Amino acid sequence: MPTTASLKTLFASLELKSLNLGASDGLTWSGSGTTIDVRSPIDGQRLAAIRQAGPEDYERVLAAAMAAFAVWRCVPAPKRGEIVRQFGDELRKNKDLLGQLVTIEMGKSVQEGWGEVQEMIDICDYACGQSRMLYGVQTHSERPSHRLFEQWHPLGVVGIVSAFNFPAAVWSWNLALALICGDVCVWKPASATPLTASACQKILEKILRRNALPAGISSLVIGPGAEIGARLISDRRIPLVSYTGSTLTGRQIAKTIAERLGRSILELGGNNAIIVTARANLALAARNVFFGAVGTAGQRCTSTRRVLIDERVYAAFLRRLRAHYDQITIGNPLEIENQMGPLVNPAAVKVMMEALATIQAQGGKILCGGQKLTGRKYRGGCYVTPVIAEVPPSLPMVQEETFAPILYVMKYRGGIDRAIALQNDVPQGLSSAIFTDDLIEEETFLSARGSDCGIANVNLGTSGAEIGLAFGGEKETGGGRESGSDAWKIYMRRQTNAINWSREATLAQGIKFEPRQTRPKKSAKRG
């Protein structure tokens, strides 16, 4: 941990106090809910307290959001993009400190903390450009002197419910697109990471104030999922909710939103596999599997959880992978040489330990890792050693996402089709990868009978996707897409327009609607 003095400076620079309020409409902060302590997983130290949002705060924020939407939707999209550009610039200035705060609050290595802020900056740049490209198509009408086209209009209030593991970036890649699309946002962050959320909101508020924007453009409500989250999910004033989190909760949320015929973007669990074929560059594969499994201490939805290895290269690959695991540096994630920090909280350690017991009970073999680290260096923190477990593909636990650094290694025999079948044989469908120098193998993997995931990579790992294309997955991952490509469209409502610029009333499909029509002869042409 930083010294108390340097933590104080970091807090002051990011406008955090020892007691913080949990609700903001973008200009005014309040908090009428219960107070919670925020502790660092690095050493268990109490960082600060939050007086959370209560029902009145939620209502205040929603009222402001509704009012702001009426104004914001009429601001030209490129001007909205300019606000997002300024936010990106402000993030650049705060990258170092905000990255450190992410690390202090949730425990990822500071390299990854900075990477997370960089991802926020990237989406701001992207969204600013996109604000000039909210294209609708036009096409030719079947009627004379008619014009057909579509427009994309702002949708309304967007609810963002984010997870602890990307406590800042998930919000930003929803927010940046929603804002340029003319929507306003209400953010409910994970209860484990309220300080990062407050700091992000305060950075954005600087920009909102500097541009004399009204309250309600971007709001924050920190509070328990069962109260504040539940309110937001069932709120008919919120036409779109973006939820990142577990499949279990996502399933409930999907039902509630579907019941009110709202829209949702669901980014749920992953169970991401890497296929290592006999034609793989094993050194490259081992390096990528290592980062995929151990980066963010295995707490990314894109983390590599399974490796399917051709039996002919199994031993050689495993030797290389073990070498990485044997050299891993675990410890205070603020120290730049540490590759892996703690898990997010003691509950996460418990889940991991229980999973290891189940894996063994089901017949899996732990090849390395799985210890809780307790020495002086780790005091008060949630440190564990990452696990490689050798299992048969049929092991029931392989079907589940355990949000921890547990990697299943499995042999396959047979060709690429067998490997793909195993890779697809889980309920989740977020990310996948293959390591091979064989063109036919990689093309098969990317083809219609290949990977069934939202992301399929060749010779790189399952995590660390760039913001330029759509991010999300299939099956129990929920089907949502965020970030680049045409993901912006879900934040807007599509309107199909037809204009008649003639003096004639012509109906489509050749329908005549005048009195005394004669029935067309059988052979007569339409029209």
User: 262: helix, coil or strand?
Assistant: coil
The total of other beta-carbon atoms located within 10 Å of residue 111's CB is: 16
300 contributes a contact to ligand UN1 by CB under 6 A: yes
268 contributes a contact to ligand UN1 by CB under 6 A: no
The full DSSP string for 439-501 is HHHHHHHHSTTS--SSEEEESS-SS---TTSEE--EETT-S--EESTTGGGGGEEEEEEEEE-
Instruction: For residues 527 and 508, give the distance between their C-alpha atoms in angstroms, rounded to a whole number.
Output: 9
464 contributes a contact to ligand UN1 by CB under 6 A: yes
- Region binding ligand UN1 by CB under 6 A among candidate stretches 16-24, 217-225, 294-302, 352-360: 294-302
- The rounded radius of gyration (Å) of the Cα atoms in the chain is 26
- Region binding ligand UN1 by CB under 6 A among candidate stretches 314-322, 351-359, 369-377, 458-466: 458-466
The distance in angstroms from the start CA to the end CA of the chain is: 78
Contact 107, 338 (CB under 8 A): no
Contact 108, 333 (CB under 8 A): yes
Instruction: For residues 411 and 314, give the distance between their C-alpha atoms in angstroms, rounded to a whole number.
Output: 7
332 contributes a contact to ligand UN1 by CB under 6 A: no
* Residue 449 Cβ vs ligand UN1, minimum distance, rounded to whole Å: 25
Instruction: For residues 500 and 498, give the distance between their C-alpha atoms in angstroms, rounded to a whole number.
Output: 7
465 contributes a contact to ligand UN1 by CB under 6 A: yes
* Residue 108 Cβ vs ligand UN1, minimum distance, rounded to whole Å: 10
Structure tokens at 264: 């949702």
Place of tokens 């330029």: 468
Kindly tell me the burial class for residue 72, based on how many C-beta atoms sit within 10 Å of its own C-beta (0-12, 13-18, 19 or more): buried
124 is catalytic: no
* Residue 465 Cβ vs ligand UN1, minimum distance, rounded to whole Å: 3
- Region binding ligand UN1 by CB under 6 A among candidate stretches 8-16, 48-56, 164-172, 332-340: 164-172
Structure tokens at 327: 């050299």
Contact 219, 242 (CB under 8 A): no
Relative to beta strand 470-471, strand 482-483 is: antiparallel
Among positions 208-267, residues that touch ligand UN1 (CB under 6 A) are 244
The total of other beta-carbon atoms located within 10 Å of residue 27's CB is: 15
425 contacts: CB under 8 Å, gap ≥ 6: 393
Among positions 499-518, residues that touch ligand UN1 (CB under 6 A) are none
Catalytic residue among 105, 119, 205, 267: 267
Which residue's Cβ has the minimum distance to ligand UN1? 465
**Residues 134-153, mask of contacts with ligand UN1 (x by CB under 6 A):** --------------------
Nearer Cβ to ligand UN1, position 100 or 463? 463
301 is catalytic: yes
Contact residue for ligand UN1 among 24, 103, 131, 463 (CB under 6 A):
463
175 contributes a contact to ligand UN1 by CB under 6 A: no
Place of tokens 């209030």: 157
What distances in angstroms separate CA 51 from CA 18, 38, 265, one per listed residue? 11, 11, 29
Nearer Cβ to ligand UN1, position 315 or 469? 469
- Region binding ligand UN1 by CB under 6 A among candidate stretches 47-55, 92-100, 127-135, 165-173: 165-173
432 contributes a contact to ligand UN1 by CB under 6 A: no
Contact residue for ligand UN1 among 301, 334, 398, 409 (CB under 6 A):
301
Contact residue for ligand UN1 among 69, 166, 445, 488 (CB under 6 A):
166
Nearer Cβ to ligand UN1, position 166 or 243? 166
291 contributes a contact to ligand UN1 by CB under 6 A: no
292 contributes a contact to ligand UN1 by CB under 6 A: no
* Residue 438 Cβ vs ligand UN1, minimum distance, rounded to whole Å: 26
* Residue 64 Cβ vs ligand UN1, minimum distance, rounded to whole Å: 28
Residues of this chain that bind ligand UN1 (CB under 6 A): 119, 163, 165-166, 170, 244, 300-302, 463-465
Active site residues: 267, 301
